[in-house]
Homo-oligomer: A and B are copies of this chain.
Amino acid sequence: MASPATSPAPSEEDGAELEHDRLIADVFARACTSRGILEHVTGRWGTLALAALAEGPFRFNALRRKVDGVSEKMLAQTLQALERDGFVHREAEPTIPPRVEYSLTLSGRALAEKLRDLIEFVEAQVPDVTAARTRYDAAKARA
């Protein structure tokens, strides 16, 4: 979360300090690569797909049933982005029709652990959040 961002490229005169700074990612900067990665892994379906795959490999349709509510198109796009980023491995067996299985890579597993930690926290917050929403809505209604 340090700044400056990885981009833009420094001029040659900027020397050693900027050479170092170029390697520092800053997710708050809209042009930084890390912002796009974060959006893939926390996007509407990325988090759930990664958390599901933390339980083991899935075939496409089984994963779609697990991630309740995702469309075929959105799941395909989500998995493709995560595969391109190196978090998901796609294995297609040369059968007819092809049997395709998705699993986590090493870095995908580390990432999914963090997401599951986050999800467990959120699930545990449900009673408190429900109470907070009731208080908030009541205060708004009085105002």
Contact = CB atoms under 8 A, between A and B. Distances in A.
B28 A126 contact: no
A132 B84 contact: yes
Q: Do most interface residues of chain A lie in helix, strand or loop, or is the interface mixed?
A: helix
A114 B117 contact: yes
Given A28-B48, A47-B38, A85-B129, A123 B1 contact: yes
A128 B86 contact: yes
A66 B28 contact: yes
A26 B67 contact: no
A107 B42 CA distance: 20
Contacts of A111: 121-122, 125
A80 to B, nearest CB: 9
Contacts of A28: 48, 51-52, 66-68
Given A28-B48, A34-B125, A118-B118, 20 more contacts: A1-B119, A1-B120, A24-B123, A25-B126, A27-B48, A27-B123, A28-B67, A33-B126, A37-B125, A38-B118, A38-B122, A41-B118, A42-B118, A84-B136, A85-B132, A86-B129, A110-B121, A111-B125, A114-B114, A114-B118
